Amino acid sequence: MDADPGFDAAVVDLLGMMACAELLAFERLAHDAALAPTIADKAELARMAVAEFNHFTVLREHLMKIGADPTAAMEPFVEPLAEFHQRTAASNWLEGLVKAYVGDGLAADFYREIGGFLDPATRDLVEEVLADTGHSGFAVSHVRAAIEADPRVAGPLALWGRRLMGEALTQAQRVAGERDALVSLLVGGSIDFRQLGEMLARLTAAHSARMAALGLEA
Amino acid sequence: MDADPGFDAAVVDLLGMMACAELLAFERLAHDAALAPTIADKAELARMAVAEFNHFTVLREHLMKIGADPTAAMEPFVEPLAEFHQRTAASNWLEGLVKAYVGDGLAADFYREIGGFLDPATRDLVEEVLADTGHSGFAVSHVRAAIEADPRVAGPLALWGRRLMGEALTQAQRVAGERDALVSLLVGGSIDFRQLGEMLARLTAAHSARMAALGLEA
């Protein structure tokens, strides 16, 4: 590990957060599989859930390799992530697909932003874990087909996408308020509001692009 | 495949039923992972869910290898299996553990009974898929510890175990009424009530042994 204990703590925080997120993503995708209209869709969602779990095990093993306790590393993020999922529980199949696509994309962008401040080995690990598990194409094609079949579903789904973004920001602020090491890594000791603003603008633009890909207004 | 079309149909039925059961077991374990009291328990349940999904893919691949459509093979069993899970949705962590242990054990015994009538290749596949994924030891140790900590949980869990057995038999009868090939395989053309009775006695005895292992009255 690095000689800087603040940096080490930030890496453990980041990997712990990602491990926790992957495990909860597994749960959510498995839950969405239960909502799937066909057994083939169910199997496909389950396959994606398993891919998330495999990412989780990669992160857990890396945490152990750098001498961290994976459970302790994940613990601080269980509450905020579980609250995010609870506040944005998909009530139907399409909401689940939009959430998976928009939520995973947002999380991936955020991790990549942090990745820019990391050592190359950790950055490679983050990239490996963020590799698309095939969910994007699946969600985009299913949501677009549903809107084509019935254009009235687009309005509620667009609102849903906005709500997801809002809840994600709420929980991100909560985490930022509690995890000093992580925030220090991101903003380099003193908060640079211009940089933070630019990052938020990039995240928002990418979110809008994803909504457009689904055929929804951001 | 075998030259007997009735036998072939029964094999497809059996593997389709098992594939469907594994996929739904994946869903149920993933759902139970969400009820887990600690992040470590959550990860362990998720690992077991993934093991069930891997069994599902083994069965699906074998179905394709013998020229069957996996989705079509699973379809007839979606309803009865989903109904079983719906009627026996675990309302807490311990109910989920008892259900997984008792339900999987019962299903495994049943598949092994059918396995006795199969060709060696299919029988080997069934054995491979039924290999314990580590759930038994996990469920037994957690349920016994919970009863030791608070003996009052034993009574409701014993009732729960009996209800699981009752619902399983209800759905088994339903499947038997609809899948002639499978029933023919099991009873050899004409129903031998003595043989059926003996099989039921064996299943019930094994169920009681599992309940005892959990520290519960059958």
In 3D space, the residue among B23, B3, B4, B157 whose CA is nearest the CA of residue B88 turns out to be B157
Please name the residue of chain A whose CA is at the shortest distance from the CA of residue B49.
A50
- B26/A30 CB distance under 8 A: yes
HSE-up (13 A, CA, CB side) for residue A180: 4
A contacts of B34 (beta carbons < 8 Å): 27, 31
Above 90 in pLDDT, residue A131? no
Q: Which residues of A touch B38 (CB under 8 A)?
A: 71
3-state secondary structure of B170: helix
- If you average pLDDT over residues B114-135, what whole number do you get? 82
Average pLDDT for B23-28: 90
* Cβ atoms of A195 and A187 closer than 8 Å: yes
Highest mean pLDDT among A106-110, A115-119, B22-26: B22-26
Distances (CA, A) of A26 to A41, A43, A45, A143, B51: 16, 14, 10, 21, 14
Instruction: Report how far apart, in Å, the C-alpha atoms of A195 and of each of A136, A171, A190, B100, B101 are.
Output: 29, 20, 11, 50, 53
Closest CA of chain A from B30, distance in Å: 6
Q: Indicate whether A125 pLDDT > 70.
A: yes
pTM of the model: 0.78
Check if A74 contacts B (Cβ < 8 Å): yes
The answer to whether A53 faces chain B, any CB pair under 8 Å, is: yes
Contact of B55 with chain A, judged by CB distance below 8 Å, is answered with: no
CA distances (Å), origin A37, targets A45, A130, A136, A149: 11, 27, 18, 15
CB B42 within 8 A of CB A56: no
The letter for the amino acid at A59 is L
The set of residues, in sequence order, having a beta carbon less than 8 Å from that of A72 and lying 6+ positions away, is A16
Pick from A82-91, B156-165, B178-187: least confident: B178-187
Q: Is the pLDDT of residue B191 over 70?
A: no
- Residue pLDDT, tens place only, A158-196: 999 999 998 988 888 888 777 777 777 666 655 566 777
ipTM here: 0.71
Q: How far apart are CA B210 and CA B218, in angstroms?
A: 8
Nearest CA in chain A to B51: A50
- Calculate mean pLDDT across residues B95-108: 89
CB pairs A-B closer than 8 Å: 69
Q: Any CB–CB contact under 8 A between A149 and chain B?
A: no
Question: CA–CA separation, B13 vs B3, rounded Å?
Answer: 16
Whole-number Å distance between alpha carbons of A58 and B40: 15
pLDDT at res. A187: 64
Contact criterion met (CB < 8 Å) for B50 and A50: yes
Mean pLDDT, range A121-128, rounded to an integer: 88
Please state the rounded mean pLDDT for residues A151-159: 95
Supply angle C-alpha A65, B35, A28, rounded to 5. 70
Q: Does A50 touch chain B (CB under 8 A)?
A: yes
pLDDT for A95: 93
Instruction: Assess A58–B contact: CB distance below 8 Å, yes or no.
Output: no
Answer whether B47 sits within 8 Å of A53, measured CB to CB.
yes
**pLDDT tier for residue B218 given thresholds of 50, 70 and 90:** confident
**Cβ contacts of B43 on chain A, cutoff 8 Å:** 23, 56, 60
**Single-letter amino acid code for the residue at A46:** A
> Smallest Cβ distance to B46: which of A26, A39, A75?
A26
Torsion of CA B205, B209, B215, B218, to 10 degrees: -10
Residues 6+ apart with CB under 8 A from B161: B98, B102, B207, B211, B214, B216, B218
Inform me whether the C-beta atom of residue A78 falls under 8 Å from chain B C-beta atoms.
Answer: yes
